[in-house]
Amino acid sequence: MTFVDISLAAQRTPMEQSTRRAFLTGATGYVGGRLGGRLLEAGWHVRCLVRSAPKLASRPWSTHPNVETVEFSGKSPVCLDDLTTAMCDCEVAYYLIHSMVAAGGDYARADRQLARMFGQAAKAAGVKRIIYLGGLGEMGQNLSEHLTSRREVEACLAEATVPVTVLRAAMIIGSGSASFEILRYLTERLPIMITPKWVQTQCQPIAIRDVLCYLVQCLDCPESIGATLDIGGPQVLTYAQLIRLMASAIGLPRRIIIPVPLLTPRLSSLWIHLITPLSFQVARPLADGLKNRVVCRDARASELMPCTLLSPAQSIELALGKLQSGQVETAWSDAGVMPGDPEWAGGRVFSDIRKTDILADPTIVFDTICKIGGGHGYYAADWLWRIRGWMDQLAGGPGLRRARRDPMNLSYGDALDFWRVTAIRPPHHLRLQAEMKLPGQAVLEFDVELQEAGVGNQPPRSILTQTARFRPRGLAGLAYWYAVAPLHNVVFSGMLNGIRDAAQQAARHE
């Protein structure tokens, strides 16, 4: 992976300019994080526009020599001139940006502004076409706000007259996708479901593998230039049928579904938030869109770009297999702005610092630390962590439901229950920043140092320092710290001792 100095991007040699180069936004998100590797396999050079280069580095394809990175800080908006320069000498530009998470309730306006500027920059840079992954849904005034916003983005991208290829998809099924997680959590946790009327709405889900296939194949399909194509799997189902397919794939008894007309989109989104890992801000527009029938109007996409499409049952089976084997390539929670380093200066910061000696190499200690959370738990007092997760969930936070993308490894930007990995330097440092609902800022850090190298039969000795910091916000923050401080000896001492014991056991078995 190379970093591009955008001030020099327009000064390339003729040989460099002849290279087929794709400009990729959303490379750290769910779809873009998978698309980058497929484009490289197809022989393209890929230039990624990202807010955080370290976050992109967690993608296995990011070290490919044909990957270039342009990093823009999330602290200031991207200006038109810089975006134009970044796109220079790119043949095609993928627009995979969605502001729903970052902008909250004002996401539609933010998306219009970004799309309009993106189209203008593409025209100024000489980009030949834009490819956009939008939302499937019947036309008309009854579209949800979310699907209406997707249509508006299409129009804004096209204003600058650069040909736009629009691929409209409904529910995307794949390991780590938001749609898949909603479906899985609802099915696993609710043997009897009282649902809104939308449970009988028809949809045409598509596997993430097939979405990526269309996104790459359209590059070599001239007929797709400037076209709007509906993409979907081979079957049209209701959401109730999808829930039953999921139950069958997991091996659960048939789910009892009772649709009632009284549940509004707001109540539905609150219910989705409580049962699944999605926040209310994300669940609300998605729940509102479930009322709309999302079925392909024609088969032009599959006729122009033939490929063997997975059925919904096959998509679910494949996604569950990836989940169970810990091979989730990307997850919906990967997207979004990374929280910056907390500015601990100013105001009182509470700290809980604990240390322990561990008879193990730092690499073993660090690997043990990186297993925390998700299904593994926190090495001690897991019941207290679960209670804290339920409290956070009721308060509108993520709780412990996001789990983790990989059961063994962590990367910069990964979501881990209600934490986010904001620094990782194996085998010495890991920092987790809390994304739970808190009256303040919380950080949990682990530092590992080699104290003594092993000599003869003596094992190496490491020092593990575990630091919890909390910067309270107002009186509520102070009250929170003093309320939970008595539990720290149970939670944090237990975690430290559990990591020590597990690391030493792993060292003995090496």
DSSP, residue by residue, 287-343: HHHTTS-B--S-SHHHHHS---PPPHHHHHHHHHHHHHTT-----GGG-SPPPPPP-
Asked whether the predicted pLDDT for residue 67 surpasses 90, the reply is yes
pLDDT of 314 reads 95
pLDDT of 150 reads 84
Rounded to whole angstroms, the Cα distance separating 407 from 374 reads 7
pLDDT of 432 reads 95
pLDDT band per the 50, 70, 90 thresholds, residue 16: very low
Q: What is the mean pLDDT of the segment spanning 469-474?
A: 81
- Specify the pairing of strand 206-207 against strand 172-173: parallel
Amino acid letter at 115? A
CATH topology for the 350-508 domain: Alpha-D-Glucose-1,6-Bisphosphate; Chain A, domain 4 (3.30.530)
Q: Find all residues with CB under 8 Å of 168, minimum gap 6, and list them.
A: 134, 135, 136, 137, 150, 228, 229, 230, 231
Rounded to whole angstroms, the Cα distance separating 437 from 485 reads 17
Backbone angles phi, psi at 390, to 5 degrees: -65, -40
pLDDT of 284 reads 66
Q: Which two tokens stand for residue 208?
A: 């993430």
pLDDT of 289 reads 67
Backbone angles phi, psi at 415, to 5 degrees: -85, 135
Is residue 244 exposed (0-12), middle (13-18) or buried (19+ Cβ within 10 Å)?
Answer: middle
Provide the 3-class DSSP secondary structure of residue 463: strand
The string of pLDDT tens digits covering residues 391-441 is 998 888 888 877 788 888 899 989 999 999 999 999 999 999 999 999 888
Q: What is the DSSP letter of 412?
A: T
- Are 359 and 504 contacting, i.e. CB atoms less than 8 angstroms apart? yes
Rounded to whole angstroms, the Cα distance separating 431 from 427 reads 12
Rounded to whole angstroms, the Cα distance separating 270 from 5 reads 45
pLDDT of 504 reads 94
Rounded to whole angstroms, the Cα distance separating 48 from 55 reads 12
How many CA within 13 A on the CB side of residue 315?
29
The string of pLDDT tens digits covering residues 309-338 is 999 999 999 998 887 777 778 776 666 544
pLDDT band per the 50, 70, 90 thresholds, residue 263: low
pLDDT of 7 reads 44
pLDDT band per the 50, 70, 90 thresholds, residue 347: very low
How many CA within 13 A on the CB side of residue 231?
35
- In sign, the C-alpha dihedral spanning 243, 245, 246, 248 is positive
Rounded alpha-carbon distances, angstroms, from residue 319 to 64, 285, 316, 401, 492: 26, 24, 5, 18, 35
pLDDT band per the 50, 70, 90 thresholds, residue 367: very high
Mean of per-residue pLDDT scores for the chain? 84
Closest CA to 480 of 350, 379, 383: 350
Q: Superfamily assignment of 2-333 in CATH? A: NAD(P)-binding Rossmann-like Domain (3.40.50.720)
Q: What is the mean pLDDT of the segment spanning 372-376?
A: 89
Q: What is the mean pLDDT of the segment spanning 248-274?
A: 78
Amino acid letter at 166? V
Q: Parse the chain into domains and list their residue ranges.
A: 2-333, 350-508
The string of pLDDT tens digits covering residues 82-137 is 899 999 999 999 999 876 544 445 678 888 999 999 999 999 999 999 999 998 87
Element (H, E) at 280: helix 280-289
Rounded to whole angstroms, the Cα distance separating 108 from 502 reads 48
pLDDT of 5 reads 52
Asked whether the predicted pLDDT for residue 77 surpasses 70, the reply is no
- Are 16 and 66 contacting, i.e. CB atoms less than 8 angstroms apart? no
Are domains 2-333 and 350-508 of this chain identical in fold? no
Asked whether the predicted pLDDT for residue 168 surpasses 80, the reply is yes
Q: Which two tokens stand for residue 74?
A: 């999330």
Tallying the residues shown for the chain, one arrives at 510
Specify which residues 465 forms β-bridges with: 355, 447
- In sign, the C-alpha dihedral spanning 80, 29, 283, 244 is positive
pLDDT band per the 50, 70, 90 thresholds, residue 455: confident
pLDDT band per the 50, 70, 90 thresholds, residue 9: very low
Q: What is the DSSP letter of 158?
A: H
> What percent of the chain is modeled with pLDDT above 70?
85
The string of pLDDT tens digits covering residues 207-237 is 999 999 999 999 999 999 999 999 999 999 9
- In sign, the C-alpha dihedral spanning 124, 126, 132, 138 is positive
The string of pLDDT tens digits covering residues 180-206 is 888 888 888 778 887 777 788 899 999
Of the spans 133-137, 271-275, 498-502, which averages the highest pLDDT?
498-502
Rounded to whole angstroms, the Cα distance separating 230 from 223 reads 14
Closest CA to 356 of 421, 446, 491: 446
pLDDT band per the 50, 70, 90 thresholds, residue 282: low
- Are 271 and 185 contacting, i.e. CB atoms less than 8 angstroms apart? no
- The position carrying tokens 């990957």 is 67
